[in-house]
Amino acid sequence: MAGLQEYKCPCCGGAIEFNSDVQKMKCPYCDSEFELEALLKFDNELAAEKSDSVEWDLGETVEWNDSEKAGMRLFVCQSCGGEIIGDENMAAAQCPYCGNNVVIMGQFAGGLKPDAIIPFKINKQAAIDGMSKHLMGKKLLPKVFKDENHIEEVIGVYVPFWLFDSDVSYFGHYKATKVRHWSDSRYRYTETTTYSVSRDGFQQFRNVPADGSKKMADDLMNSIEPFNYNEVVPFQTAYLAGYVADKYDVTKEEVKDIVTERMKFTADMMLRRTVIGYNSVVTLNKSIQCNHNKAKYALLPVWILNTKWNDKNFTFAMNGQTGKFVGNLPLDKKLYWKFFGMWTGIVSVGTFLLSLLIYYFS
Amino acid sequence: MKKHLYFVILTFFAFSLFTSAGMAKASNVDYSEGYFEEKPETFIVDGAGLLTEDELALVNEAIISFNGNTYSKERNFIICIVTTNDLHGKSAVAYADDFYDKNYYKYGYTNGLCLLRYINGNDRYLYISTCGEAITIFNDAEIEFQIDLIADYIIAGDYKKAFLNFIYNAENQIRNYDRITIENNSWNYDDYNVYDDYYEHHKPVKPVFEYEKAIVISLIVGVVTALIIVSVMKSKLYSVKYAVDADSYLVPGSFKVTRSQDMFLSRHVSKTEIPRDSGSSGHSSTHRSSSGISHGGGGRRI
């Protein structure tokens, strides 16, 4: 019966993990590499599982208050007996005592099994290097940020996403005008011809993402898009070894509307672009119809870096597949006004001198 | 008897005094009522005594030279000038028109200009009257312009320069008007500094460099530019935002328009009148003089 799955190297017994550089399971202790198929057998038992029958090991020595207890789960590491604490969604973790990579199989039982996964392609060092690059060339960043901020954690997370497919039909009704000007010796004429324009459009969307994790900021997850879905592979729990993962806690029904809004925006723009040859166009009516909707559950790789500076927390995210690095940086107000003053001075003086030159040489 | 005689002599002296005064007044000729008995050789009558004998002869020469050019000879076009202290109850318009009609039109000069200078103490007026082709060549706006050109000389009392300039400017206007050819005017304006003075007098004044305006505008431009630059620099710090579109997830080539209809609803035409430019295609207001001849013209109190 699967409760907590540990990934141990068959050669040396060390904690084996998915290595993004070679795209295989690799043991950091003895350097042995294994194809993922070799570890498939652990997953085969998942199919038979039902999500309700997952058992948790709850330690008795730790006291939580009721609300905390509701969201928290305690796991016991089978290698060292250490207690791993996580929330109810935690699906993969490392034992903080012995470094063992564990996957909580129950999170993927039955209907909770992800349809797909994009394995990590960028390794941890690249994520840290990405941070340095992100700080380059930002003239209004406080100079000390680079030196003073401490990276509190760099974690590789498989973030649960809902990927939507839809065949979208879009209808638009517009009022458009064509304007013509001409004149003779006495008058200037303006002719306005008004048209009623309608368009029906159709387009297909594939894999529109919406993150399924409450604790992941949606705008942060939006910003690391897009992922390359050509590199999607069928899900195997082994990919999670060495990383942290959560199962979804936002259902596809809850994110459906956001996704529809995004598709609507694109469909509207595509259709509006076909109304050409007019001087002015006003939209009178529009409607959308989404058919053949499908939602896939996928785990997508994201490096999360949390740093602290000046008593403030900053969160950065890097797309674990493409390397796109995002995160808002603090503004150095003094520098801002200094540059403002400098440029005002330069341009003002320049303009004044230019006007003098023009005056004296005209 | 002696008393009687005394009264007669007194009355006689009084009478002669008045009549001499009256005669003095009567010697003030109304030039507008036909001054010449035959076709005139003089084209300037200085009733107000504004010019010396020499200046008078000079201006007359200049006019005669103008009148002798190919255009003027062909069209019987002349310029004439009259100055007076007394309009004899007529308006300046009527005086100038009559002066032209009864002294020159009568003798066949059917096209031309008449410049009238009236001055009597503080009562002053300058008027230009046009006849025949001069009405169109010198329209209302052009007349104003011609007066502008000599106004300073008139006000300053330099009548020689004023009149010589008047003749020179009038000739230029005719030349520029529809490219009429004027040749054989041998009068040399350069000798009399008319030319130089004209340009000296009408050199375009270079506007003063407005320092305050320049500083204010430079500052505004500086502030706006700096704001733009600094905003761009600030925006580089922010990379996190919500996605509003699904453009990246549109299956390429899947977009198609399944129905398209453009239906005509209505047509509307509006028109506005083009404002007429009263510059080059200007307007000449005309009237009839007492002799029934059409005249144009304009003047001002200077």
Question: Which of the pair, B93 or A16, is modelled with greater confidence?
Answer: B93
Averaged pLDDT score across all residues of chain B: 86
Residue with the larger pLDDT of the pair B131 and A88: B131
pLDDT band at B262 (very low <50, low <70, confident <90, very high): very high
Q: What is the pLDDT of residue B7?
A: 80
Q: Would you call B243 and A223 a contact, using CB atoms and an 8 Å cutoff?
A: yes
Cβ within 8 Å, pair A326-B240: yes
Size of interface A-B (CB pairs under 8 A): 197
What is the SS3 assignment for A78? coil
Q: How far is CA B93 from CA B31, B97, B100, in A?
A: 14, 6, 11
ipTM above 0.90, yes or no: no
Q: State the angle between helix axes of B140-156 and B194-201 in degrees (0 to 180), rounded to the nearest 10.
A: 100
Is the CB of residue A76 less than 8 Å from the CB of residue A59?
yes
In this predicted structure, the answer to whether residue B172 has a pLDDT above a threshold of 90 is no
- Shortest Cα distance, chain A CAs vs residue B272, angstroms: 5
Contacts of A198 in chain B (CB under 8 A): 259-261
More confident residue, B220 or B7: B220
For the stretch B119-123, contacts whose Cβ atoms lie closer than 8 Å and that sit 24 or more positions apart, written own/partner, are B119/B48, B119/B50, B119/B83, B119/B85, B120/B85, B120/B86
Distance from CA of B223 to the nearest CA of A (A): 5
DSSP H helices in chain A: 41-44, 66-71, 124-135, 145-148, 218-223, 252-272, 333-360
The C-alpha of B213 sits at a distance from chain A's nearest C-alpha, in angstroms, of 10
- The pLDDT of B126-142, averaged and rounded, is 93
The DSSP symbol for B106 reads G
Confidence label for B16 from pLDDT (cuts 50, 70 and 90): low
**Nearest CA to A270 among B59, B285, B255?**
B255
Lowest pLDDT segment from A3-7, B181-185, B227-231? B181-185
A235 vs A239: CA distance, rounded Å: 8
Question: Does B300 have pLDDT greater than 50?
Answer: yes
Minimal C-alpha gap between B188 and chain A (Å)? 34
Closest chain B residue by Cα to residue A354 = B218
Q: In chain A, whose CA is at the least distance from the CA of B228? A: A340
Among A202, A282, A351, A353, the strongest candidate for a mutation testing the B interface, having the largest count of B CBs within 10 A, is: A351
pLDDT at residue B1 in the model:
65
Q: How far is B208 from chain A (nearest CA, A)?
A: 9
- pLDDT recorded at residue B236: 92
> Do A265 and B246 touch, CB atoms closer than 8 A?
yes
In this prediction, residue A158 carries a pLDDT of 94
Calpha distance B207→B199 (Å, rounded): 18
Q: Which of A94-98, B137-141, B195-199, B254-258 has the lowest mean pLDDT?
A: B195-199
Which residue in A135, A175, A262 has the most chain B C-beta atoms within 10 A of its own C-beta, making it the best mutation to test that interface?
Answer: A262
The CA distance from A307 to A296, in Å, is: 33
**A242-261 b/e (C-beta count within 10 Å ≥ 16 → b):** bbbbbbbebebeebbebbbe
What is the Cα–Cα distance from B174 to A179, expressed in whole angstroms? 45
Searching chain A, which residue's CA lies closest to the CA of residue B260? Answer: A199
Which residues on A lie below 8 Å from B261 (Cβ)?
A: 196-199
Mean pLDDT per 10-residue interval, chain A, length 362 residues? 68 83 86 81 58 40 51 77 81 81 78 88 90 89 83 87 94 95 88 95 95 92 94 89 89 93 95 94 93 92 90 91 94 93 95 90 77
pLDDT for position A54: 38
Q: Given this model, what pLDDT does residue B182 score?
A: 72
Q: Which of B218, B227, B235, B267 to mutate to test the interface with A (most CBs of A within 10 A)?
A: B218
Q: Do A348 and B221 touch (CB under 8 A)?
A: yes
